[in-house]
Amino acid sequence: MIDALREMATMFAWPGWLLAAPLPWLLARWRGDAGAGEALRLPIAGRIAQVVSGVRGAAPPARPGLVAALVWALLCLAAARPQQLGDPVQPPVQGRDLTLALDLSGSMSEPDMELGGAIVDRLTAAKAVLSDFIDRRAGDRLSLVVFGREAYVLTPPTADRETVREQLGDSVVGLAGQETAIGDAIGLATRRLREQESGQRVLVLLTDGVNTAGTLDPIKAARIAADEGVRIHTVAFGGDGTMSLFGLRLPMPGGDYADPTVLRDVAAITGGRFFRAKDTAALAGIYAEIDRIEPVARAGRAVRPRIERYWVPLGLALATVLAGAAGAWWRRR
């Protein structure tokens, strides 16, 4: 019952105007109670009645007070702005503006990862995990930045996850050079994200090396990103620089791996988190955790739009006045 009354109350934008409906009746009662003295009577009341009736000397229409009261009530009803609740509308899903930065330096070709029971290189393992991560980001605007000696935007921000996945699949080691420009990658991603909605800018950076190229220091780039409201999650990927041979761990030439100190500082400066993945399983778990701490924003609560209906009583009031005028014209004839 209470809910029904509350819903009825919300059907008027300005319900206070409904209180004005009984004013003519109250004024009439007040005048009647004041007595029959001429002080409260208008000397030209008869003249006004003749004008309203439409013809001088003609009798006013039957029960003119009821017609006037009806018009007044309709005008008060229109002033209260009656509204009708439309069908529920579900707001669209709005996710994050999320950039994936992937290291394509020469060390990503090291075959020290296991995927599906086979030994694969680091980039192949990273692609498999990232592809699954992209599949779960429905509602996000994704972009892909790759970096080696230089940083490039491979895919601009888009909601088309299939395009991002295809560009990821086509990326190869050395596409951006053999070295590792972590700072430039952060700077480029920040420049692309700065125009997006504040509070929803996220960069996930994966690398297996240290900053060996580029013009921008990673820590300085992280401070710039923090000023722009970009949150960076860093992933140090790759083995520990050794390989297994007959059960023994042997040093692997060229088996570079990331320095966690810089990546940890980059994440801390921007309010993100640092992760360390030495194998494919750990990497998959890391991206699942990022998926949890950066959930896609779901659609908001369904709303019912309000449709204005004030024109209905306003039209009825106008029709009543026109009908009265037409009746007066007919009686004059």
Q: Domain locations in the chain?
A: 2-86+307-332, 97-293
Q: What band does 95 get if pLDDT is binned at 50, 70 and 90?
A: low
Tokens of 50: 């003749």
Contact between 298 and 140 (Cβ < 8 Å): no
Mean pLDDT, to the nearest integer, of 119-136? 91
- Model pLDDT, residue 307: 80
- pLDDT: which is higher, 216 or 9: 216
Higher local confidence (pLDDT), 43 or 311: 311
**What's residue 269's pLDDT?**
96
Residues 50-61 as b/e (b if ≥16 CB within 10 A, e otherwise) read beebbeeeeebe
pLDDT (average), residues 279-296? 87
CATH number of 97-293: 3.40.50.410
Tell me the percentage of the chain whose pLDDT exceeds 90. Answer: 32
Residue-level pLDDT at 48? 41
pLDDT for residue 104: 93
Please say if the pLDDT value at position 120 is more than 50. yes
Residue 203 contacts by C-beta under 8 Å, 6 or more apart in sequence? 98, 99, 101, 186, 189, 190, 193, 225, 230, 231, 232, 233, 270, 272
Residue type, 207: T
Q: Is the pLDDT of residue 310 over 50?
A: yes
Q: Residue 53 above 60 pLDDT?
A: no
